Structure 1
Amino acid sequence: MAIGPLRYPMREHGSGAGGHEPDRTVDVFRISSEAELSAALDIRREVFIEEQGVPEGLELDGRDEEATHFLARRNGEPVGTARLRDYGDGVAKVERVAVREPHRGEGWGERLMTTVESRAREAGYERVRLAAQVPVVGFYERLGYEVVGEEFEDAGIPHRSMVKSLR
């Protein structure tokens, strides 16, 4: 059961006709085509492999076929992605949350997480978990996630496990 695109009205500064600012629409949605998946993988390569130095074999872990993928677009341009996998016992795992550098700080991470959590809730999951890179733990805490366990390294990057109830 798929959810449709969530559209967020957004005002963008610019020089619209007559000096008015144009209205823009952004989309965050569940991926349904190979082209959309390719765009998501391009974002992951850019953010994790090129920018953060994660080895390609770790980033492209062979689990994409078992996951539900999400894409964020602004005026048709892919700007962010995430994936959701079954973790067992009523828990879903959010993974590979990535926003292209020029678009960080514009609310894309929160929009992605809202969409991913909605899909998990719709699918009957009671909780979601994720492994947050330490610098963004505060972001997830603001979204209601709680740190569980000790800090650990994944691909040479410090992480913390986090969980959130969907009930």
Structure 2
Amino acid sequence: MEAKVITTEEQQKVAFDIRVRVFVEEQNVPLEEELDEFEAESTHFLLYKDGVPVGAGRFRIVDGVGKVERICVLPAHRSGGSGGVIMRAIEEYAVEQGMNKLKLHGQTHAEGFYHKLGYETVSDVFLEAGIPHVIMTKKLVVM
């Protein structure tokens, strides 16, 4: 498995399709909330397994801090460390951009996953798109 920065419109369409399948169809997030006004300013990623796109995510800088968003993996591929692969790719990219800290809004059911990757919960539970979330942060080691 590997995750790569999206460089073409076709890759972007594939990433949007994966996000719609996971967030809109599976989790009932409204389409207008999933595909939002921050798409153009974000750096997008695709996760590949055996050359086939199976996951997506995005990164942007908000108030000087790197923000990880829209991490998703298709249901049939949610094992074997797939989520960790895309997260590590985004973290490496963030370091290349000079970021020393990341934050994310993690769904509470995925909080343990993010803890295993070194993220710390720094908020109470709140609703985003009708789904319970928490804010999580991680300090990055900049080389």
Task: Output the TM-score relative to the length of structure 2.
Answer: 0.96
Q: Report sequence identity in percent.
A: 43
The answer to whether the 8 Å contact 2:105/2:135 transfers is yes
Structure of higher RCO (CA pairs closer than 8 Å, 6+ residues apart): 2
1:106 Cα deviation after fit: 2.1
1:73 Cα deviation after fit: 1.1
The answer to whether the aligner puts 1:92 opposite 2:48 as a matched pair is no
The answer to whether the aligner puts 1:146 opposite 2:116 as a matched pair is no
1:71 Cα deviation after fit: 0.4
Name stretches of at least 5 consecutive residues in structure 1 with no aligned partner. Answer: 1-25
Which of 1 and 2 has greater Rg?
A: 1
1: CA distance between counterparts of 2:63 and 2:130?
26
The answer to whether the aligner puts 1:81 opposite 2:56 as a matched pair is yes
Task: Output the TM-score relative to the length of structure 1.
Answer: 0.82
Per-residue CA distance 1:98-139 (angstroms, 9 max, x = gap): 000000012110000000000000100110000000000000
The answer to whether the 8 Å contact 2:19/2:56 transfers is yes
**1:1-167 alignment to 2 at 5 Å?**
26-89=1-64, 91-167=65-141
Runs of 4+ off more than 2 Å: none
Number of aligned pairs?
141
Amino acid in structure 2 at the alignment position of 1:59: E
Name stretches of at least 5 consecutive residues in structure 2 with no aligned partner. Answer: none
2: CA distance between counterparts of 1:41 and 1:147?
28
Amino acid in structure 2 at the alignment position of 1:139: F
1:76 Cα deviation after fit: 2.3
2: CA distance between counterparts of 1:27 and 1:113?
11
Match of 1:14 in 2: none
2: CA distance between counterparts of 1:66 and 1:153?
24
CA RMSD for the aligned pairs? 0.8
2: CA distance between counterparts of 1:45 and 1:39?
10
Helix, strand or coil: the match of 1:116? helix
Helix, strand or coil: the match of 1:42? helix
